Amino acid sequence: MTEIDSTLELSDGKYHRLLGPEALPAFSDTAELEATWGRRWGAADEIGRLRSVLMRRPSQGLANIREDAYNEELGALVDPDRRWYWTGREAPDLDVVNAQYDNVVATLKAHDVEVFFAPELPATFTKSIYTRDPLVTIPGGAIIGRLGPRMRRGEEQSIAATVAAAGMPILGMITGTGLVEGGSFVKVRRDTAFLGTSVRVNPEGFRQLARILEEHEITLKQVTLPGYLIHLDLCSVMLDDDLALVNPRLAPYDYMSQLWDMGIETVEVDPREEWACNMLALDRRKVIMPDHLPRTAEILADRHNVEVIPVTYREVLKNGGSVHCSTMELQRDWS
């Protein structure tokens, strides 16, 4: 008969008591996050010192855009199968697209920003360069969204795998019939963010995101975008804790008025430069901005002490998004 070592049974419960559980410090405690996940992932605002971003190279599917698909009403080349569109009559020059993209990447790296690249997707994903949209980031990690258009559905899985592989925690995911795109999400304060509902972001997405953010002590405020404006970042961008650039012809009044109530001054874009808000802050009052918007850049530099780093990005803009759309902060300084 085999003799049983009774000490194994008797000591089992004592080991569990000795080893845990330890609920505190909380998950988002900075020391805890660094010890467990390697760094202070996420961002508390849109203006803290930028440390790392998520990007994806332009799709090879842009080569399939045909000039015989010009739509006079829309002023763009439009795929009858709804897999691409490109503004203007001329097909994209891929050499120019890639050169402009590489220049933005080089500019980020020159300012000590780490760039994580999502892998290339099949050629049908012609909008996948715009990594702002499939997720949002908050202190501690990422929340994976759910994209509105069918032509982009599926990017979410790739983005989730990429950020997880980088070591970033995934704090939640929009499911069911919810639609949330990162381009319509703005972190204004450590405890306050806005989501612009639109043709691409629905109230159910807002409800789900608000519930997730509530667990992280962040209040989400809803504003409704006018007409077919898809994202809040097309009409507003934070430049400092007390300064935002807005396009008053597009920005919802209730959004601007809430910024004013929070003590945030709003600067208006030059009316001839509708896309001027779509820039990326490297730090407070320091931005990367497309160089075809000189009038707004001058307003920011001369009147508001904003350092503007110009980059050429006009060809990429024809695909439907600019510098802000093409980047998502994975890490900004926060405490």
Residue-wise pLDDT for 251-292, tens only, equals 999 999 999 999 999 999 999 999 999 999 999 999 999 999
Is residue 118 within 8 A of residue 162, CB to CB? The reply is: yes
pLDDT at 19: 76
Mean pLDDT over residues 59-86, rounded?
Answer: 95
* pLDDT tens, position by position, 211-230: 999 999 999 999 999 999 99
Q: Which residues contact 170 (CB under 8 A, 6 or more apart)?
A: 141, 142, 143, 144, 160, 163, 164
- Scanning the structure block, which residue is given the tokens 């990007």? 55
Instruction: Tell me the pLDDT band of 4, cut-offs 50, 70 and 90.
Output: low
Q: CA 226 → CA 28, 58, 99, 253, distances in Å?
A: 36, 29, 34, 10
Rounded Cα distance, 168 and 42, in Å: 8
Three-state DSSP at 281 gives: strand
Average pLDDT over residues 169-182: 98
Query: Which whole-number Å values give the CA distances from 320 to 17, 75, 326, in the listed order?
Result: 56, 13, 10
pLDDT digits (tens, 9 = 90+) for 300-313: 999 999 999 999 99
- Positions of E strands within 241-298: 243-246, 265-268, 280-283, 286-290
CA distance 73 to 76: 8
Q: How far apart are CA 199 and CA 226, in angstroms?
A: 9
31-43 average pLDDT score: 96
Average pLDDT over residues 64-91: 95
Q: Work out the mean pLDDT of the chain and round it to a whole number.
A: 95
CA dist 182 and 213 (Å) reads 14
- Cα–Cα–Cα angle for 26, 185, 247, rounded to 5 degrees: 145
Per-residue pLDDT reduced to its tens digit, 78-102 = 999 999 999 999 999 999 999 999 9
pLDDT band at 17 (very low <50, low <70, confident <90, very high): confident
pLDDT the model gives residue 335: 87
Q: Where do the domains of the chain lie, and which CATH numbers do they carry?
A: 25-31+40-332 (3.75.10.10)
Reduced to 3 states (helix: H, G, I; strand: E, B; else coil), residue 304 is helix
Q: What is the DSSP string of 52-96?
A: EEEE-PPPGGGGG--GGGEETTTTEEE-TTSS-EEESSSPP-HHH
Using a pLDDT cut of 90, give the percent of the chain over it: 93
Cα distances (angstroms) measured from residue 103 to each of 99, 301, 327: 6, 22, 13
Helix, strand, coil fractions of the chain, as percent rounded to 5: 30, 25, 45
